Structure 1
Amino acid sequence: MVGNVTTSLNWLTAVETERRAAGLRRDVRPRTADSPLIDLASNDYLGLVRHPEVIAGAVAALEKWGAGATGSRLVTGSITEHELLELELAEFVGSDSALVFSSGYTANLGAVTALSGPGSLIISDAGSHASLVDACRLSRARVVVAPHSDIGFVAAQLQSRTEERALVVTDSVFSADGDLAPLRALHGICRENGALLLVDEAHGIGVRGSGGRGLVHEVGLAGEPDVVVTATLSKSLASQGGVVLGHSKVRAHLIDSARTFIFDTGLAPAAVGAARAALTVLRREPSRAKDVLDRASELAAITGVGTPESAVVSVVLGDPQRAYDAAAECRRQGLHVGCFRPPSVPEGTSRLRLTARASLSRAEMDQIGQILGNVLAEAAV
């Protein structure tokens, strides 16, 4: 029996060897609460993860409701805190309604699969997040991957489709490059062709738009009935969870048909309390959104990258091992940066992914400049 089990896992050894040779092996590195590293890798864009009000919000909800939601939201797991968060998020971004999920990933899976299905068409941008990609695969719809931000391609696919229903999905801010989707043009094409537009604002909320209300709000599409917005609570809102925002008919449909809502345990009370508190801070201090973009511009100037449109600054190094080694050297010198390699990014575009944070101090920015200058000079040799 033992021999048979060992034999059945032999293929994993071969796969690991191939990954190591390609510079694509990944490791989990737990961080400590008192890590001395300057953080340019996390998605804590507004610097609220350790904000005392956010922590207090989590603790208050924890003490009131307990550690877990206890069940799916359709059984025992929906609490008044969920509904309050939904009302507050919808009002903040200018949406008709909201529905909170246990993560941004499950929000995308639930929304895309529930709004498509057999006999429908999904057009997904080539740069869409993995959660959207997986949702498309699970949808049982006909899926067409559009070249990145190619409006003409999307229009042609919608005009030539045979399916009655169509859904166009895209990030608002693309996570690897930090560029913006052409949302106004996409929406115009969708409306002309009777399609629904779904926009993942994971990297837009808290950074783009008036006071961080997102790119959909910034371009004037907030509240449009044929626009559905998904977002995560784990980035700018410093917590955990996800949300789908849109017309009340969409919310009602998701409650009835989104499997990741129906069958998943509700978002933990502490996460809800933290997200509500973070949203309160952002409303009171809307300048944090501008501070993120200002820090991103400084990072771009340090690295020689063009003017950023979001919190993301990507320094493409090409070779995955070169990117890995550069990230390791940054850590050695006191700086934590993201390292993106295939399949997270296309072949030949492995990179350091730097994420700006509103709370970065002048002293930290000076140190960042020195470290990145040293590391990138060495990586270019």
Structure 2
Amino acid sequence: MNHDPLSSATRIVAAGRPSRVPGAAVGPSVEFTSTFVTGGDNAYARFDNPTWRAFEEAIGALEHGSALAFASGMGAIRAAIELVPLGGAVLVPQHSYNGTTALLDKLAEAGRLRVTRADVSDTPAYIDALDHTDLAWVESPTNPMLEVADLPTLFKAARESRVLTVCDNTFATPLLQQPLTLGADVVVHSATKYLSGHSDLIMGVTVTADPQIQQRLHSERTLSGAIAGPMEAWLALRGMRTLHVRFERACANAAELAARLADHPQVEAVRYPGSGAMLAIDVRGGVGAAEAVEQAVQLWLPATSLGGVESMLERRRRHTSEPMTVPENLLRLSVGIEDVEDLWRDLDAALSSSRAS
């Protein structure tokens, strides 16, 4: 089926379906096998799986490229980083997912590559840092500071400098932006988050429109063994069918909460990029007050992940791997699909009680 004329909301539902033949199932089955009978297109389940392909078709249709499912977001990130030549240089935002930065630092210590950091929201500074770079990593919005990058300008500058670009699109999802259409070479997602949407599986994905890059990513997945389980791929696709309605509700909730939090006496700053379902707040009163909010919420879940139907919050600097430029009193909020008034009452009460503590 040609998905080009369809909206993203429709693509999510229509893509990755079995062929329309009489008596066929309307949804893909889960293919539990480790090997295949000789003579077909696939010999072994580490190379490919029909259940992966259904998920890959759906996310590829959303991101306008060819997708590959991985065992985790980190598996996808590692595969993308392996595109860097030995001893090459990677430019990464000052604030990024700490799994990405921790992996880059480990590889740098081993002499595999070199790492440079810059503020991705400062477009001239990031472009200047492209000099002598092999791969530019981009997040927009960034994790956890919610900074926004000028993606078209950065990708254009990188392409002119012959620098490969990878964009982590986990926060924005393909509903808010499709980086490949803006000039990126590779997109990565933690499918654990918004794509699957129910906090019940671990999976990652890469997407590219370049056949040569796709082949290199596929080879890396095959040789590293970072393959998704068929059950996880099936669950991720099922979860993705409702991404549009889930994300629409979560974004509306986040916008309303951001507006109310801006006037809250216990909030020093609200970090909200103007769209999406992620925001962050600096709690007045320092570390103790921020931790008191975590302990006081009853509906919000104090947890480290994001992108599920449930609302979660976390003080990010409790992780030693977060950079020192992330405020100690910053709480990252992943806004879910609950009733916004219930979310506000719970958060307001927790913030108010933190003042007393």
* TM-score in terms of structure 2 length: 0.73
After superposition, the C-alpha distances for 1:318-343 in whole angstroms (9 at most, x for unaligned) are 73332222110113xx4324222323
Indicate the SS of the match to 1:65.
coil
- Corresponding position of 1:240: 202
| Alpha-carbon distance change, 88 to 375 in structure 1, aligned in 2, over 3 angstroms | closer
Return 5+ residue gaps in structure 1 as ranges.
1-45, 47-56
Distance 2:128 2:331 in 1: 35
Distance 1:355 1:86 in 2: 25
- Corresponding position of 2:333: 354
Counterpart pick for 1:100 among 61, 69, 89: 69
After superposition, the C-alpha distances for 1:323-372 in whole angstroms (9 at most, x for unaligned) are 222110113xx432422232336353332222122x323xxx22222222
- Corresponding position of 2:122: 150
1:104-115 matches, cutoff 5 A: 104-112=73-81, 114-115=82-83
Distance 2:286 2:69 in 1: 39
Distance 2:214 2:115 in 1: 23
Counterpart pick for 2:54 among 84, 92, 101: 84
* TM-score in terms of structure 1 length: 0.68
Indicate the SS of the match to 1:250.
helix
| Alpha-carbon distance change, 84 to 193 in structure 1, aligned in 2, over 3 angstroms | same
Alignment of 1:335 with 2:297, yes or no, is no
RCO (CA 8 Å, sep 6+): is it higher in 1 or 2? 1
- Corresponding position of 2:215: 252
Number of residue pairs matched by the alignment: 294
Indicate the SS of the match to 2:134.
strand
1:1-381 matches, cutoff 5 A: 61=29, 64-65=31-32, 75-77=44-46, 78-95=48-65, 97-112=66-81, 114-137=82-105, 138=107, 140-159=112-131, 161=132, 166-205=134-173, 208-209=175-176, 214-216=177-179, 220-221=181-182, 224=183, 227-238=185-196, 239-246=201-208, 247-256=210-219, 258=220, 261-264=222-225, 266-282=227-243, 286-304=244-262, 305=270, 308-317=274-283, 319-331=286-298, 334-336=299-301, 337-342=312-317, 343=320, 344=322, 346=324, 348-357=327-336, 359-361=337-339, 365-380=340-355
Indicate the SS of the match to 1:85.
helix
Distance 2:158 2:327 in 1: 33
Distance 1:192 1:249 in 2: 19
Indicate the SS of the match to 1:109.
helix
Displacement of 1:141: 1.8
| Alpha-carbon distance change, 296 to 106 in structure 1, aligned in 2, over 3 angstroms | same
Distance 1:374 1:108 in 2: 38
- Is the 2:96–2:142 Cα contact (8 Å) retained in structure 1? yes
Amino acid at match of 1:296: A
- Is the 1:175–1:312 Cα contact (8 Å) retained in structure 2? no
- Is the 1:102–1:267 Cα contact (8 Å) retained in structure 2? yes
- Is the 1:178–1:310 Cα contact (8 Å) retained in structure 2? no
Distance 1:142 1:74 in 2: 38
Return 5+ residue gaps in structure 2 as ranges.
1-8, 10-24, 36-41, 263-269, 302-311
Distance 2:147 2:316 in 1: 18
Indicate the SS of the match to 1:158.
coil
Indicate the SS of the match to 2:241.
helix
Displacement of 1:189: 1.4
Displacement of 1:299: 1.4
Amino acid at match of 1:248: P
- Is the 2:28–2:51 Cα contact (8 Å) retained in structure 1? no
Displacement of 1:311: 0.9
After superposition, the C-alpha distances for 1:89-136 in whole angstroms (9 at most, x for unaligned) are 2122111x1111101111101211x21132422111111112321342
| Alpha-carbon distance change, 236 to 121 in structure 1, aligned in 2, over 3 angstroms | same
